[in-house]
Amino acid sequence: MQGFLDRSSPAGGVRRTDASGQTLVEFALVIPLLMILFMSLLEVALALNASMAVNRASQQAAHIAASAGNLLGADCLVLQSIEEDMGIPNDPANISEVVIERTALVGDYSYGEQRWGRFGETDCTMPDRSTVTVPYTLQVAGYPEAQRCAVLQGCPTFVPPRSTVDNIGVTVRYTHGWVTPLNGALDLVVPDAGAGSPGGWSFEQRNIFRIEPVL
pLDDT digits (tens, 9 = 90+) for 72-81: 999 999 999 9
Does 134 fall in a domain?
yes
CA distance between the termini of the chain = 106
Residue 99 CA to residue 116 CA, distance in Å, equals: 6
Does 164 fall in a domain?
yes
Entry pTM: 0.79
Does 28 fall in a domain?
yes
Q: Which residues contact 118 (CB under 8 A, 6 or more apart)?
A: 92, 93, 95, 96, 97, 98, 135, 136
Percent of the chain with pLDDT over 90: 58
Least confident window among 6-15, 26-35, 60-69, 92-101: 6-15
- Residue 117's DSSP bridge partners are 97, 137
Tally the domains of the chain.
1
For residues 97 and 139, the answer to whether their CB atoms sit within 8 Å is yes
Q: Which residue has the higher pLDDT, 22 or 9?
A: 22
Domain that holds residue 77: 2-210
| Total length of the chain | 215
Q: Which residue has the higher pLDDT, 112 or 16?
A: 112
Does 215 fall in a domain?
no
Q: What is the mean pLDDT of residues 131-156?
A: 95
Q: What is the mean pLDDT of residues 37-51?
A: 87
Backbone angles phi, psi at 39, to 5 degrees: -65, -35
Does 30 fall in a domain?
yes
